[in-house]
Amino acid sequence: MQNEAERMTPSVSGAKTAHSPERREFLRKAGITAILATLTNLDFPVDPASAGETSSGIEDEQFLAVSRVLTGCRDLDPVLSRRLRHALTGVFPEQVRQICALATTLDTNTTSDLLMTDAGAAHDALLTVNAAWYIGSVRNRTNAPMVAYADALMYRPVRDALPVPTYCRAEPGWWSQTPPLDHIASPETDRAPPPPPPVGVLGSTPRQSAIIPPAGRSSFSALPRETKDTR
């Protein structure tokens, strides 16, 4: 009976060995090594937006360069251009690649008309990009991805006198004030002067001579006489 009890009771030295600091440290290091080895072989999904911002810087610059020549606006916002390119890539990826390829053909003498003429197969892609800059969206339809609203190019020509819809331009009642005329053509100052009169023709209407009635007739003789009713 004593031998049986001794076999069932764990020894104190064995318990110390199982829970010793050296054993715990060994197991901790072994577990960390196994986890690191497992994570090294895993392919974690990468956020497309962050990957695009870090790996497509050249394409962003190419898209912006073509957009500036196409629209004729050299002050286009690079941040807005990057967002617009990413939105267009999700809808028209092939057209975006065509636009970026056109950047290699640009030089200091390239104009919008020349770019459209020499675009070839990328002509429709240029029209798509130009429309996106002006309406601020990749498509002109309901629920289309909206990239810009107040910064859309279609509001630039009238920005000095009209606000963007739903935006308040100034204090209440500002619309009753006279709009600024800084960029509005004045009909008085921009009107072309009248052409000079032809050679040999006086600039003013010549005087008209008085009409003299024939001799023996007064000036009132030609008027019809009133006849009396004798009935």
| Domain membership flag for residue 93 | yes
| Confidence bin at 159 (pLDDT 50/70/90) | confident
What pLDDT, on a 0 to 100 scale, did the predictor assign at position 174?
Answer: 77
Percent of the chain whose pLDDT exceeds 70: 58
Mean pLDDT of the chain: 74
- Based on the structure, what is the number of domains in the chain? 1
Residue 169 domain flag: no
Report the candidate in 92, 183, 78 with the shortest Cα–Cα distance to residue 137.
92
Rg of the chain on CA atoms, in Å: 44
The stretches of the chain forming alpha helices (DSSP H) are 2-8, 12-18, 21-40, 48-55, 57-71, 78-91, 93-102, 112-117, 123-135
Domain annotation covers residue 79: yes
pTM: 0.53
118 in any annotated domain: yes
Average pLDDT over residues 215-231: 56
Residue 210, domain member (yes or no): no
pLDDT mean over 57-66: 92
Residue 111 lies in a domain: yes
Whether 208 is covered by a domain: the verdict is no
Q: CA 204, CA 181: separation in Å to the nearest integer?
A: 36
Q: What is the amino acid identity at position 231? A: R
Asked if residue 95 is part of any domain, the answer here is yes
- For range 29-49, the mean pLDDT: 59
Contacts 24+ apart (CB under 8 A), 127-132: 128/88, 128/92, 128/95, 129/63, 129/66, 129/67, 129/70, 129/88, 129/95, 129/99, 130/70, 130/71, 132/84, 132/87, 132/88
| Structural domain for 63, as ranges | 55-158
pLDDT digits (tens, 9 = 90+) for 70-84: 999 999 999 999 999
Mean per-residue pLDDT, 174-202: 64
Q: Which two tokens stand for residue 131?
A: 């429309």
